């Protein structure tokens, strides 16, 4: 695994995610980067809507002090942790995703709070925005989640397309903790079942036989409700995310966003080709 990036806004939610990030970084023997973006306002110039002027952030000094304090706290709690800080001016989700692409980041760990139905559609959390834009896996940590070494990981999948690179990435994380991986397929009335599922399941079962992997299929009335119920005993839930525009999310919904705001366990968002 590569470096671990943990964005922070210095909230309790972000501090909780930082604990998860520190444990993973230690197990993976990788550097943990605590990252903060000072949001900079953008103002239109005159009547020209295409012209903008960006004012540099004015809170950099205070933000750096807070970042250094967080890093100091992490080093005291985890003496063997390799921890550094990065402070940037910009737009939070853009800064996070661009930094991760340019700096050998293997995992982003970010906290999230509960969102209501309207917020899920019109005002995505930064965690969901990052999960949608990032090219690396994103671990979304609910504000009330309590860290413990993961022993069970559930990967909820439609079993379509090439699953192997996703499973290999999940196994890289699960092997750090010797956690069992359950590959879960849900047949529900609100999701159209496409052909090829049984063939893929047989192929994956044969390929991963003898590894710390098991497979499970269940029936359910509603996909989201069934998945929340099935993942209650897991320590991490994994889903894949495909990029959608605003209209697609409005019409089709965003299962990752819905689950992220309903589950009490961390959600690992992977990106399938």
Give me the tens of pLDDT residue by residue for the chain, a chain 273 residues long.
789 999 999 999 999 999 999 999 999 999 999 999 998 765 555 554 444 444 554 568 899 999 999 999 999 999 999 999 999 988 899 999 999 999 999 999 999 876 544 444 444 678 988 998 899 999 999 999 999 999 999 999 988 778 888 999 999 999 999 999 999 998 877 666 666 678 888 888 888 888 899 999 898 888 888 998 999 889 999 999 765 544 444 333 467 888 887 788 999 999 876
Do both 118 and 184 map to the same domain?
no
User: What's the CA gap between 38 and 52, in Å, rounded?
Assistant: 18
User: Would you mind telling me the total number of residues written for the chain in this entry?
Assistant: 273
Q: Are 102 and 231 in contact (CB under 8 A)?
A: no
Q: What is the pLDDT of residue 257?
A: 81
* Domain closes at, from 96, 117, 147: 147
Do both 33 and 162 map to the same domain?
no
Do both 69 and 1 map to the same domain?
yes
**DSSP letter for each residue of 212-224:** SEEEEEEEES-HH
Domain limits for position 87? 1-147
Do both 2 and 134 map to the same domain?
yes
The crossing angle, in degrees rounded to 10, of helices 197-207 and 164-177 is: 40
* Domain closes at, from 147, 181, 204: 147
Do both 31 and 131 map to the same domain?
yes
Q: What is the pLDDT of residue 255?
A: 79
Q: What is the pLDDT of residue 261?
A: 77
Q: Are 130 and 110 in contact (CB under 8 A)?
A: yes
Do both 173 and 136 map to the same domain?
no
Do both 128 and 182 map to the same domain?
no
| First and final C-alpha spacing in the chain | 19
Do both 104 and 177 map to the same domain?
no
Do both 104 and 192 map to the same domain?
no
User: What's the CA gap between 68 and 94, in Å, rounded?
Assistant: 23
DSSP three-state, residue 192: coil
Do both 37 and 132 map to the same domain?
yes
Name residue, tokens 């197990």: 27
User: What's the CA gap between 227 and 216, in Å, rounded?
Assistant: 12
Q: Are 120 and 22 in contact (CB under 8 A)?
A: no
Number of domains in the chain: 2
Q: What is the pLDDT of residue 100?
A: 96
CA distances from 41 to 55, 92, 115, 174 (A): 6, 12, 24, 41
DSSP three-state, residue 244: coil
DSSP three-state, residue 184: strand
Q: What is the pLDDT of residue 16?
A: 95
Closest listed residue to residue 105, CA positions, set 125, 130, 77, 124: 130
Do both 112 and 186 map to the same domain?
no
* Domain closes at, from 105, 125, 147: 147
Q: Are 4 and 30 in contact (CB under 8 A)?
A: yes
User: What's the CA gap between 8 and 10, in Å, rounded?
Assistant: 5
Q: What is the CATH number of the domain that holds 174?
A: 3.40.50.620
Name residue, tokens 């000072």: 38
pTM: 0.86
Do both 38 and 118 map to the same domain?
yes
């Amino acid at each position: 695994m590569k470096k671990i990036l943990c964005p922070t806004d210095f909230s309790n939610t972000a501090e909780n995610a930082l604990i998860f990030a520190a444990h993973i970084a230690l197990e993976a023997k990788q550097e943990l980067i605590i990252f903060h973006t000072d949001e900079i306002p953008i103002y239109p110039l005159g009547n020209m809507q295409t012209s903008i002027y960006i004012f540099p952030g004015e809170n950099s000094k205070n933000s750096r002090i807070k970042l250094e304090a967080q890093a100091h706290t992490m080093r005291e709690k985890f003496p063997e942790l390799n921890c550094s800080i990065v402070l940037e001016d910009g737009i939070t989700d853009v800064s996070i995703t661009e930094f991760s692409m340019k700096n050998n980041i293997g995992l982003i760990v970010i906290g999230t709070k509960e969102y209501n139905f309207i917020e899920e559609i019109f005002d995505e959390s930064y965690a969901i925005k990052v999960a949608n834009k990032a090219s690396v896996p994103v671990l979304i940590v609910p504000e009330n989640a309590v860290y413990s070494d993961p022993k069970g990981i559930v990967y909820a999948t439609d079993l379509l397309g090439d699953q192997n690179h996703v499973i290999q990435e999940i196994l890289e994380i699960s092997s750090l903790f010797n956690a069992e991986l359950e590959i879960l397929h849900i047949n529900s009335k609100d999701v159209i079942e496409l052909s090829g599922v049984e063939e893929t399941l047989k192929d994956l079962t044969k390929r991963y036989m003898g590894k710390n992997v098991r497979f499970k299929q269940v029936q359910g009335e509603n996909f989201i409700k069934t998945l929340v119920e099935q993942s209650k005993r897991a320590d991490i839930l994994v889903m894949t995310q495909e990029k959608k525009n605003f209209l697609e999310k409005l019409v089709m919904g965003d299962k990752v966003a819905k689950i992220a705001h309903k589950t009490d366990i961390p959600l690992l968002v992977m990106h399938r080709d």
